[in-house]
Structure 1
Amino acid sequence: MNKENKQELIKRLHAEKCSCVIAQGEDTRTFHKKGVNDLYELVCHHPAYLKGAYIADKVVGKAAAALMVMGGIKEVYTDTISLSALTLLRKAHIPVDFECLVPYIQNPDKTGWCPLEEKCYHEDSIGGIFYIIRNFINKQTPFFKRLFAWK
């Protein structure tokens, strides 16, 4: 992906108020769910879409970074990234461009840690982080909604 294409994805991320924009070859998709829900669904149900993809995302915490590593993305841009997420992506040799590096991702009210960032903070294995994410999402989403959410 060339520099102009990357800039277009970043512009689209902000103009369309997406949570993230993912380009896989010629196929570009926008996502709007909160947190890591879209990435989690892709890893679980459409992993091939992430393999080698470029992602433009507004906020990347450690959980999102782990899902990106699991999915095999090629490169990521984010407005804001936590130090632990940046460390995880660099350890996986995934190039990262960002605007703002923060010690941790805050919750939506800006009164403390994002709950998932806090839960994943001390876990270093991708598998362990995935397990934390799965349990977190399953507790947040009623069973029947999870059952019929996958297409």
Structure 2
Amino acid sequence: MNQLKQYLDDGQCRGVVRSAGGETVVFRRRGVIDLFELSTARPDFLCGASVADKVVGRGAALLFVRGGVGRLHARIISSGALDVLRRGGVEVSFDTEVSNIINRTGTGICPVERLTACTESPDEAYLLIKNFIENQKQKL
């Protein structure tokens, strides 16, 4: 896990995943888009994986549980995400716990954190996030 944490300190990444088989994938984009795309394209990749991430909210936590992540370290984690991960059987460590992840403009709760507050189901969260991402792409 220390090597994964080092990626956060050294690299221009926001997160890194090492599969149970030892393959590493780096997340560079903000939000859950890289995680969502990985879990869609390679659904088995997260099973038993170790993750280090700068910011983990409820949406990401539900995707991590859905994928079967084994261990996760977050620099910042929301209380809701921490609860989801612990209930999902993920071994969790973190630097700072916050009540909610704040949006990019600093004006409120992150939209994915707010979107997934209404569900405990990783599968339902996946669909909610999928629709959110598709709507965002249409706005561009």
TM-score normalized with structure 2 length: 0.93
Alignment of 1:7-86 (within 5 A): 7-24=2-19, 25-86=21-82
Greater relative CO, 1 or 2 (CA 8 Å, sep 6+): 2
Which residue type is aligned with residue 132 of structure 2?
F
Give identity over the alignment, percent: 37
Greater than 2 Å deviation, 4+ residue runs? none
CA distance in 2, matches of 1:17, 1:111: 25
Match of 1:87 among 83, 88, 91: 83
Aligned length: 139
The CA deviation at 1:35 is 0.5
Compute the RMSD of aligned alpha carbons.
1.6
CA distance in 1, matches of 2:75, 2:98: 11
The CA deviation at 1:134 is 0.9
SS in 1 for 2:101: coil
Unaligned runs of 5+ in 2: none
Computing the radius of gyration over CA atoms, which structure comes out larger, 1 or 2? 1
SS in 2 for 1:78: strand
SS in 2 for 1:111: coil
Which residue type is aligned with residue 8 of structure 1?
Q
Unaligned runs of 5+ in 1: 1-5, 146-151
2:126 maps to 130
Per mean C-alpha deviation after superposition, the further-off stretch among 62-71 and 127-136 is 127-136
Alignment of 1:99-138 (within 5 A): 99-138=95-134
Per mean C-alpha deviation after superposition, the further-off stretch among 44-53 and 134-143 is 134-143
